[in-house]
Structure formats: C-alpha cells, structure tokens
Structure 1
Amino acid sequence: MSGSQSGAANAENVNGYESSTGSTQRRLGFWREWTTKEDWWSIWIGWGLVLVAYILYANGGSIRWLAVAPAQWTSVSDAAHFFALHLPNYVALLAVFGVLFSIAVAAQGQRVAHFVPSFLIVFAGSIVIFTLGAWTDASKYNLEPPLVALAAGLILSNVFKLPEWFHAGLRVELYIKVGIVLLGATLPFTLLVWAGPVAVGQATIVSLSTFFVIFLVGSALGLDKRFAAVLGTGGAVCGVSASIAIAGAVRAKREHASVAITLVIVWAIVMIFALPFISRAFGLPTGIAGAWIGTSEFADAAGIAAAQAYGDLAKHGAGAIAGAPEASLQAFTLMKVVGRDIWIGIWAFVLAIVATTRWDREGELQVRSRAGEIWARFPKFVIGFVIASAFVTWVASGHTLGAYRKIVAPEFTAPITVLRTWAFIFCFFSIGLTTRLRSLSATGVRPFIAFTAGVAVNVIVGYVLSVHVFGHYWASLG
C-alpha cells in the first residue's frame, strides 16, 4: 500500500472514530438530559400519574382511592375521625409521592437520605393545611390551602431557624412543575368550546390588556422584565398558580413569585368584599355580576366566595336582585376558571420563548440564538402542560359538557385535581419555608404600583365588557 493510500485509510479510520465518538456523546448527552433534569422529571412524574389514572378509568376504575383529600368538617373531632378512617389512603399517597420524588432527587445527584425525612415533615404539615382548608367556614376567611401553606411557611421560617438538612425536602421547582403538568390534565382544550365564544373573547381581552399594563408600568418603573412578567400574569390570569408557573418559565427569582403571590392575596381579599357590595349597589343581575367578578378577581377561591355570596343575596331576595341565584357562580366559572385560567399555559409558553431568545441575551454580545440553545434553555414542563391538556382533550372529545361533568370529571380529572392540589401545597409551603420577609420588603413600592395599575384595568375593563358589551349574554345564564 502506498504512503498516500495508507494516509487516506488512517484519516478515514480517525474520522470514523471521531464521528462514532461524537455520535455516542450526543446520545449520552441526550439521555442525560432526559434523566437528570428537573423539568423532565416533573413531566415523567406528572404524565405517569395521568397515565395510571387513565388506565384505571378506561377499565372502569379510578385513582380516587389514592387521591385522598380531607372532607368538609365543622368540628375538630370530625376532621380527626376522617383522618383516622382514611389513614391507609394517606400512607399510600405519601409512599407514591415519596418514591417518585426520591427517584427524581437521586437522578439529579441529590442526597435522598436528607430528602426523605424533610419530605415527611412537609407532607405532615400539608395534611394539616389541607384539612384546615376543608373547614366549613374556611371560604369565609379565604383559607384556601395553597394560601394557608404559604402563610404558614412564612411564619415558621421567619420565627424559627430551620436546620440545613431540612432544606433538602423544600423542592419548590419540582413540586410546582409537577403541579403545572397535572394542571394541564384538568384543563382540556374543549372547555374553551363549551365555554362559548363570549367567555373566551372577554377573557382574552382582559388577559392581554391587564398583562401589558402591569408589564409596561413595571418596566417603566425599573423592574426586571422577568419580575414584571410574573406580576403581569399574576394579575391577568389565575394569580397564585400563574405567578409560580411564569416564574419558572422565565427563570425569575424566587422572591419575585413570593411578592406577586402576596399582592394577589391582598387584592383578592379586597375584591371578596368590594365586588359583591358594588354589584348590589349598581343592581347588577346575578349573571352579569358573576362575569364581572370572574373578570376582576385574582384567585379562584376568593372569586368563588364572592360569586357565591352574591348568589346567596339574590336567593334571599336582598334588594330584588335579578337573575337566577346560581347564574352568578356559573358566569364566574366560565370567566375565571375556564376563560382566564387556560391562559396559564399560553402565557408560560410565549414568555418562555421570549425569555430564552431575548431577555437572556440582554447585556451580552448580540449573538443570534441557535435552535439548540433555545431548546436547552426552554422550560420543558410547559410542554408537559400542553401535552397533558391535549391528552385529556382527546379523552373528553367524545363527550358532551354534561357527560364530561357526570362521567369523566369525577372518575378521571377530579382525582388528578386533588393530586395537583397536593403538589401545589407542597410547593407553596416550601416557598414560605425558604422565604425571608426581609427580602420581600426590599422590593419597595414599585411592584405594588404596577400590580395596582393592573387591578384598575381588570375592574374597569371587566365592568364595561360584562355590563355593556356582553351583558345580554351573561344576563341570560341560568
């Protein structure tokens, strides 16, 4: 063999070896991405729970036994009796969540020996918080479990010094990402069709206008764009859940989500009392008032309390309020729970793209983002949300709204909603336990001004749309 032929053969072998090595490294990198990243583990856990729930549902069963939740109670003895009666369910739920989260933690190189005892404490605290939220008078005091979890965590973390090992179980991002994926499984796209074009259209107008007002005012006041985005979605969609979801999507600081949640809670409590009072003063029919409450409220529990209160006023003949009493809650559900809450996934998807292609590049050399880099930065749990929603849409596609509520919801999606609530409680409790009030006060008055500007838009635009633009539609409900 000549020298040139030998050289060519050697070059071919080297190139072949390098090509093979590069291919192997890419495969290993791809596998490592899917097995060690928190975003992917949130998808595997969320999808796994949804798939098990569907398999049982398709074969005439349900995951309800595992998805235990405290029953409503009026006395402590009633609550204790329910807990004792369903102790095996709670133990099974702890085991399932504990094993799934431990596998995810171990895959990410964290110490499971520290995580397990910490998560046991988080789970025990979550049981107490969830049980408190099941109190018959809880809605009267806005004691929604995720909000109580946040408050309890803040009190404990700012009064007591927590041991370092305990922080291993405070996996805020993992818990909320699993919760968001499960949230997708409870919001089929067909709900938009069932809600009607009026509810979807009004929710779209409100969501867009409120977000951009808060975002632009916050940016003008010098807030970080990620912080402004978290505040904007907190006011435009479902306050607490949206704040957490968008904070993860745009990679905002943890305290940014805490500030947004605090502002949501403050204004949600104000609206519980203000909206029914003003609606009664204006003599609004129940359906119109419910739509306005759904447009202007920031938390589902607070809005339900306000809408129910107005419906009760109509039921008891206070001021001869027009409309069926249940129309208030129906209109609220269409506007808030369906029309606005579905925007969580939309905003998370859009803002994640904006954050990875624009905001992450600010202050750096202007280099065109490659598709691979965008994919690496993109929060994968948002995709998990969308696919879970698409899957449940397929499950619900062969049912009418009535059949969905009667068959699919109680046996399939309702248990998933309970599991989602548990994940949210774990998350909010962990946020409180890792947040110092000193960091919240350091943000100043600017976030309050930006969010309050959105409140004004919510209330005014919501009133105009509910009363003058789509008033005939809302008045006809019930």
Structure 2
Amino acid sequence: MKSLYLKEDWWAVWIGLGVVIIALIMYAAGSTIGIINVGFPKFDDWGQMPGLVGPLLPKLVILYFVMGAVFTGAMTIMGQPAGKFFAGFTVLYIMAIIVQILGAWTVMKSLNLEAPVLALIIGMLLGNFLKIPDWFNAGMRTEFYVKTGIVLLGATLPFTLIMKSGPIAFLQATVIAVSTFLAIYWVGAHVLKLEKPFAATLGAGGSICGVSASIAIGSSVNAKKEHTSISISMVVIWATVMVFLLPILCRAFGLSDGASGAWIGTSEFADAAGIAAAAQFGDGATTTFTLMKVVGRDIFVGIWAFILAIVSVTFWEAKKADGTRQKPSAGVIWERFPKFVIGFFIASIMISIVTLSSSPEFAAGISKGVTSPIGGGGGLRGWAFTLCFLCIGLTTRFRDLTKTGWKPFAAFTAGVAVNVVLGFLFSTIILNDYWTAVGA
C-alpha cells in the first residue's frame, strides 16, 4: 500500500485524476478551472508585452501557488526535500513563463519555434554551458511532470474520438510502430550487441511515444537508469531535428494538411514537438496528427509495457541459482507496469462517460469548460509538458552523450530511417486520399 503514496507513478495518477474530477464538479456547478488556464496571446512588438502580460499576472500567481503546493506536497510525502524542490520548481516555473512568452512572439512562430521546441533549445543551452546547482536539480523531476501531463492528456482524448478514427489510423500506426521497434531492437541487440533491455528501451522511444515510452518500457524491462536517460536523449535529439525538418519536407512535397499531419504523427518522436510541427498546417493537420500520434501510437504504451515485461522476465533476466528463470507472475508484471498509463485510460473513460450520459447541451460545454482548461492553449497539460521539456534540455549533457559511444545513436537512427520512410509511404501515397479527406 505504501507504493500508492510513495511512487511518482501513483502521484501522477492522483494529481491528474484529481484535476479532472475537480474540473467536472466545478463545471457541473456552473464554474470552470479557467482561473489556472494561462495562455499568452500572439504579439509582434515587445513594447506590447506590459499590456499583454499585466492582466495575466493574477492567473500566473495563482497557477504558481497551485502547482507549487500540489507538486511540493507530493514530493514531501515521497520523502524529498520540500524546500529545495520548491526553490527549484520556482526557477523552473519562471523559465516556463519566459518560454511561453517567447513562443507567442510572431517572430518565433514564423521560425516555427513554438514553446515546446524553445523549452528544449533553451534548456540544452543552459544545461550545457552553466553549472546547475543541487537545489535547482531537486526541482527538475522530468518523469513526474511528463507522467502527470500524460494522465491529463487522457482527459482530452475521449474514447469516442478513438472509435471515430476508424481502423485506418490503427493499421498505419501499428505497422509503422512494430517495424520501427523491430529495426531499432535488431540493430541494437543483434548487430551492435547492446543489452537487450537497453535495445528494447531505445526501440520503444523511437516507435511509440518518445520520452514517456522510454520511461515506461525502461521500467517494464528493468533497464538501467542510465540507459533510460540515453533513450530519452535520443528522442529529444531527433524530436528537435524533426520539428524543423518535417514541416520543410511537407511543404517541399506540396502535401495536403491532412497528409502532413499524418506523416508528422508517424515520424515525430514527442507529442509536444509533433503538435508544434503539425500546428503550422492548421486544424486539419492537428486532427490527423492526433489520430496518428496520440491515438494510434501513444495508446499502445501500456500494452507494450505489459508484453515486454513478460519477455524481459521470461527470457532476458538472469537465471536463479537452480538454473531456472523467474516466472512472469502477475505480481512482477504489476510491479513494473507504468501506473500513470492507468490514469491516462481512466481520465479518458471518465470524460467519455460524462459526455455520453449527459444532455446534449451539457456535453457540448465539456470541451470549453473541462478539456480546454486542462489541455487547450495555456492548459495544465501544456504547462506540465513545458516543465518536462525544460528539464530534459537542462539535464541533457552533450559531453555525456559522447561518452555513451555511437552505438545507441546508430541503432536509434536506423529506426528513424524506417519511421520516416514508412510514414511517408502510408501518409502520402497509400492512404493519401484518406488523410487528405480527414484533414479537410
């Protein structure tokens, strides 16, 4: 029972579901959680900033204390130093504000530098050229922020959307995800002789949903912590490359918005970076991206974690003293299963049940009153992911990457080649008419 309040996974579930429940209750009572929904409007001139940011200051202060109190409380219960965490979180929050403001500047938007990409770039620059003090490190809880964001993501992804997407999205996502995973795993484990759990973690990061998959699968297969970190770094590097490269290629090939979104959804490695890339082509591309990346790929995290946990326990791990291997008991699988994935599904089911069982008027307002404050522009999910990507950038050391050698990069890059080529073939040739129609 202690794991229910001593593990980050469970706290991500409690916080994410707590937000959803509170949002639903407040909406039913005629209110919303909009007070902690803070998005910055686009601006051209920095002279406009006082007039734009000034009215948002009360919301920013409230959001700071709400997030700070909830996250610090969770960390305190888990035995982490509250003072150091809150101090680190404070600096991280200020950085997140700066990133969000920069992302709203039209100059940055014209360069396709949205807030998620800026968070990575700024974090990497600071992390590689400045010494990060210990008290700041205490606030950089990458996994905690991304897990919480993923649970909140479930609230914006009702099962009705999954049903409406049809079998096409699942077919394309499954073929490409499986092909990419097998390419990375085969090159990593059999050609380059990497440890099998390490190769599986790299494969999951490159084929399912990037950072969260690296974390979930790394935990499921009992990979070394440094191997999970390397996989995350590979995801970050290629996600940053693709957020610039894919839009350029989409325009060069003259693709439709729907096909562009689908290709980005099958070839990008991080949700936030992919959304930033797809958003450049409008709502149609964002819709097809969501179907491919979030519905088609991200939803398989739990399934892959379960399957690979069984494979790891049955085949990869050391034999016992008597020469036998540990049996993949339900207890072992449950221990390794990423609990935040459960929160993702529960949040999705909750929104679906409320929407389907309510009056048409009430259900129609769910988007504006519940899911938008959670996952829309300025929503809690966006802030959680911004904090996560800042942490990833700040903790990514290029010197450390070079120490890992070329093998992890080579294995991951093999998957990139498969991912991009297959994604292009499916999205723009085999299923071009389908995706073009969906994105119209």
Please tell me the TM-score bracket, short chain as reference: 0.7 to 0.9
Q: Which residue of 2 aligns with 1:315?
A: none
Task: Please report how far the alpha carbon of residue 106 of structure 1 lies from its aligned counterpart in structure 2 after TM superposition.
Answer: 1.2
Greater displacement, 435-444 / 83-92:
435-444
**Cα distance in 2, alignment partners of residues 246 and 140 from structure 1:** 36
Change (3 A) 1:133 1:457: same
Write out per-residue CA displacement over residues 28-72 of structure 1, whole angstroms, 9 at most, x where no aligned residue: xx2x22222222222211111111111112233221221212222
Change (3 A) 1:402 1:436: farther
**Cα distance in 2, alignment partners of residues 103 and 286 from structure 1:** 44
Tell me the percent identity: 46
Change (3 A) 1:310 1:120: closer
| Residue pairs, 1:192-231, within 5 angstroms | 192-220=162-190, 221-231=192-202
Change (3 A) 1:78 1:466: same
Q: Which residue of 1 aligns with 2:297?
A: 340
Q: Which residue of 2 aligns with 1:68?
A: 38
Q: Which residue of 2 aligns with 1:232?
A: 203
Change (3 A) 1:131 1:241: farther
Contact 2:102 2:115 in 1 (8 A): yes
Aligned residues: 428
Aligned letter for 2:100?
F
Q: TM-score, normalised by structure 1?
A: 0.79
Aligned letter for 2:202?
L
Q: Which residue of 1 aligns with 2:130?
A: 160
Aligned letter for 2:351?
V
**Cα distance in 1, alignment partners of residues 49 and 216 from structure 2:** 32
Change (3 A) 1:47 1:222: same
Task: Please report how far the alpha carbon of residue 384 of structure 1 lies from its aligned counterpart in structure 2 after TM superposition.
Answer: 1.8
Q: Which residue of 2 aligns with 1:259?
A: 234
Task: Please report how far the alpha carbon of residue 385 of structure 1 lies from its aligned counterpart in structure 2 after TM superposition.
Answer: 2.0
Please say if 1:394 is aligned against 2:353: yes
Larger radius of gyration: 1
Aligned letter for 2:24?
Y
Find the partner of 1:453 among 365, 389, 414. 414
Change (3 A) 1:424 1:349: farther
Q: Which residue of 1 aligns with 2:84?
A: 114
Q: TM-score, normalised by structure 2?
A: 0.85
Q: Which secondary structure does the structure 2 equivalent of 1:65 belong to?
A: helix
**Cα distance in 1, alignment partners of residues 61 and 158 from structure 2:** 30
Q: Which secondary structure does the structure 1 equivalent of 2:194 belong to?
A: coil
Task: Please report how far the alpha carbon of residue 378 of structure 1 lies from its aligned counterpart in structure 2 after TM superposition.
Answer: 3.1
Q: Which residue of 2 aligns with 1:411?
A: 369
Please say if 1:296 is aligned against 2:267: yes
Task: Please report how far the alpha carbon of residue 399 of structure 1 lies from its aligned counterpart in structure 2 after TM superposition.
Answer: 8.2
**Cα distance in 1, alignment partners of residues 238 and 306 from structure 2:** 24
Greater displacement, 51-60 / 429-438:
429-438
Change (3 A) 1:299 1:168: closer
Contact 1:195 1:339 in 2 (8 A): no
Task: Please report how far the alpha carbon of residue 112 of structure 1 lies from its aligned counterpart in structure 2 after TM superposition.
Answer: 1.1
Contact 1:295 1:336 in 2 (8 A): yes
Aligned letter for 2:135?
W
Find the partner of 2:62 among 53, 78, 92. 92
Q: Which secondary structure does the structure 1 equivalent of 2:423 belong to?
A: helix
Contact 1:211 1:236 in 2 (8 A): yes
Q: Which secondary structure does the structure 2 equivalent of 1:119 belong to?
A: helix
Q: Which residue of 2 aligns with 1:426?
A: 387
Q: Which secondary structure does the structure 1 equivalent of 2:30 belong to?
A: coil
Contact 2:306 2:333 in 1 (8 A): no
Task: Please report how far the alpha carbon of residue 240 of structure 1 lies from its aligned counterpart in structure 2 after TM superposition.
Answer: 5.0
Change (3 A) 1:150 1:54: same
List gaps (5 residues or longer) in structure 1: 1-29, 312-325
**Cα distance in 1, alignment partners of residues 285 and 390 from structure 2:** 32
**Cα distance in 2, alignment partners of residues 114 and 414 from structure 1:** 32
**Cα distance in 1, alignment partners of residues 122 and 22 from structure 2:** 32
Aligned letter for 1:416?
I
Contact 1:232 1:451 in 2 (8 A): yes
**Cα distance in 1, alignment partners of residues 105 and 207 from structure 2:** 29
Contact 2:214 2:232 in 1 (8 A): yes
